[in-house]
Chain A
Amino acid sequence: GAVVSQHPSWVICKSGTSVKIECRSLDFQATTMFWYRQFPKQSLMLMATSNEGSKATYEQGVEKDKFLINHASLTLSTLTVTSAHPEDSSFYICSARWFRDRSGGYTFGSGTRLTVV
Chain B
Amino acid sequence: DAKTTQPTSMDCAEGRAANLPCNHSTISGNEYVYWYRQIHSQGPQYIIHGLKNNETNEMASLIITEDRKSSTLILPHATLRDTAVYYCIVNPGAGSYQLTFGKGTKLSVIP
Write the residues of chain A forming the contact surface with B, with a CB cutoff of 8 angstroms: 4, 6, 31-32, 34, 36, 43-46, 49, 51, 91, 93, 95, 97, 102-111, 113
| Cα separation A71 to B51 with both chains bound (whole Å) | 31
Contact among A6, A51, A93 for B44, CB-based, below 8 A: A93
| Cα separation A93 to B102 with both chains bound (whole Å) | 16
Write the residues of chain B forming the contact surface with A, with a CB cutoff of 8 angstroms: 32, 34, 36, 38, 41-46, 49, 51, 87, 93-94, 96, 98-104
Residues of A within 8 A of B87 (CB): 43
Minimum C-beta distance from A69 to chain B (A): 14
CB-based nearest B residue for A107:
B46
Residues of B within 8 A of A105 (CB): 34, 46, 49
CB-based nearest B residue for A113:
B41
- 16 chain-A/chain-B pairs, Cβ below 8 angstroms: A34-B98, A43-B104, A44-B38, A49-B98, A93-B44, A95-B43, A103-B49, A103-B51, A105-B46, A106-B34, A106-B46, A108-B36, A108-B44, A108-B46, A111-B42, A111-B43
